[in-house]
Structure 1
């Protein structure tokens, strides 16, 4: 696919001064050239020249909305939000979810494909390519106007090389995602761990906007965290920061998929919740879930447990409360280690909302060291099941709008 226009536009957006101007227009727009010069400390002629290039490329558009203190009204600049698009991909344990958005993060289209069992590196890569191609099929949006593909992938990823080092829930190693997709689609591809991507999405568009330090927790098939410190995404030395699902809560606990015993995710993840409920029903505990599944316990899912709990099923309510307590212990440890201003919960298990939050917050209140620590903000992600996909979109926007890559959003 000849993608000369997009490559040119991407390079145009990426220089340091252009990134400064673009991010300012994104955050503060509509904004005048004079205000841009003041806020960036660039000279008015420099701003004027750079804006001229951005207008020519149709990345920025002018609006005559300004108020002046007499004389000619200033023209204000705003992003051409509908002109360019981004693809966000969430590669989970069971499916690939995709969204197509504007560069303002507005969702235009979504799609999902199941991941079959016994997947290999090659078949997974083919499936990702197929899912992106399907998203683009019969779409009015010109492929030439797509800026890039962001991917949130569960497990350990090498952010620089764009390789999935270990995807534990698919039991795959060393998948060269960035290299294969950039070659296939001829556009920039950024890969990040799903929880870290999610935290970047919350920083850019969601419940982390305006908060300097927070942690985003993805509670689904596993449990991971994305840590933002001073508006920067923290990766750690070997890209394993935030693997809180493997924080040991009970050294005598059940064995985890990682080989250790008593990890947090053996108590509070989606599969742990399902296992707890199935075990209790087998021991004779009455539950509406038996009726809901026609006594086929293998049909029980986290979503079904949530529905049963809302319907008054005592076993399901108790299981969600217990998961909340264990998560509360894990989050208390996190508060004592990082002391974030806010913790944002995303992923499938977080859909249980108040059924989970009540016991989680109660546990933090019992265990946190100080009154201030007990009051740490705990809220649910703004994006629900789109949280990782939106984070994947933010990976590309962070490349476009900041001169420091995905580490931070510019802070004015």
Structure 2
């Protein structure tokens, strides 16, 4: 019985460790791998594996850090990759919907304020989702391209059953 439940337990430990490492990078970044190992109380090999996966997923990025008074090659520091990932913030008030796309550092990427009719027979949730769809699909005023257009990456933004690809929305 114990052997049957062990793989799930190991996966949970890996997720917990990865979460702890990500939080440390977010709080302390830029931070070196050796410092992460010390603060997280994990083996350097574990840190290397966790960080490699985070780098591949564009969750963190490497940067040079030069300690004051140190000589030689600068250490490689890790910090959270805030520009690669975005989230949608939605605020609904009487007669209005405010939509803003922000990066992980909460910096505004783009925003819009739209009318949300109070006397519309269309179901409320359908109207909200329609506004979100139009927010992502319409071209930006500056570039003439969709807000989510990026040639280097195919990101998917999931809302219930829909997904948006920066390559598919041109």
**Do Structure 1 and Structure 2 share a fold, with TM-score over 0.5?**
yes
Alignment equivalent of 1:141, drawn from 136, 140, 148: 148
C-alpha displacement of 1:105 = 0.8
Asked if 1:60 is matched to 2:60, the reply is: yes
Structure that is richer in strand per residue: 2
**Equivalent residue for 1:113?**
114
Distance 2:77 2:98 in 1: 37
**Equivalent residue for 1:36?**
36
Alpha carbons of structure 1 residues 26 and 183: separation in structure 2 relative to 1, 3 Å: same
In structure 2, the residue corresponding to 1:64 is in which secondary structure? strand
Please list the CA deviations of residues 330-382 of structure 1 after superposition, one character each: whole Å capped at 9, or x if unmatched.
xxxxxxxxxxxxxxxxxxxxxxxxxxxxxxxxxxxxxxxxxxxxxxxxxxxxx
**Equivalent residue for 1:407?**
none
Structure that is richer in helix per residue: 1
Deviating runs (4+, > 6 A) in structure 1?
none
In the alignment, is the contact (CA less than 8 A) between 1:32 and 1:77 conserved in 2? yes
**Equivalent residue for 1:296?**
none
In the alignment, is the contact (CA less than 8 A) between 1:84 and 1:146 conserved in 2? no
Asked if 1:83 is matched to 2:61, the reply is: no
Distance 1:38 1:58 in 2: 23
C-alpha displacement of 1:88 = 0.8
Alpha carbons of structure 1 residues 45 and 75: separation in structure 2 relative to 1, 3 Å: same
Please list the CA deviations of residues 211-255 of structure 1 after superposition, one character each: whole Å capped at 9, or x if unmatched.
xxxxxxxxxxxxxxxxxxxxxxxxxxxxxxxxxxxxxxxxxxxxx
Distance 1:50 1:37 in 2: 11
Distance 1:65 1:108 in 2: 27
Q: Which runs of 5+ in 2 are unaligned?
A: 1-13, 140-145, 165-170
In the alignment, is the contact (CA less than 8 A) between 1:99 and 1:109 conserved in 2? yes
- Which has the higher relative contact order, 1 or 2, with Cα contacts under 8 A spaced 6 or more apart? 1
Distance 1:126 1:25 in 2: 39
Q: Which runs of 5+ in 1 are unaligned?
A: 1-13, 149-180, 187-412
Please list the CA deviations of residues 47-102 of structure 1 after superposition, one character each: whole Å capped at 9, or x if unmatched.
11100111122221111123285554320011222111111111222211110011
**Equivalent residue for 1:94?**
95
Please list the CA deviations of residues 160-180 of structure 1 after superposition, one character each: whole Å capped at 9, or x if unmatched.
xxxxxxxxxxxxxxxxxxxxx
In structure 1, the residue corresponding to 2:124 is in which secondary structure? helix
In the alignment, is the contact (CA less than 8 A) between 1:63 and 1:76 conserved in 2? yes
Q: TM-score, normalised by structure 2?
A: 0.70
Q: TM-score, normalised by structure 1?
A: 0.31
Please list the CA deviations of residues 100-156 of structure 1 after superposition, one character each: whole Å capped at 9, or x if unmatched.
011111101001222212346x532222122212221223424843566xxxxxxxx
**Equivalent residue for 1:26?**
26
Distance 2:26 2:125 in 1: 33
CA RMSD of the aligned region, Å?
2.6
Please list the CA deviations of residues 20-56 of structure 1 after superposition, one character each: whole Å capped at 9, or x if unmatched.
2222222221111122122222221111110011112
In structure 2, the residue corresponding to 1:63 is in which secondary structure? strand
Alpha carbons of structure 1 residues 129 and 147: separation in structure 2 relative to 1, 3 Å: closer
Alpha carbons of structure 1 residues 24 and 41: separation in structure 2 relative to 1, 3 Å: same
Distance 1:135 1:63 in 2: 34
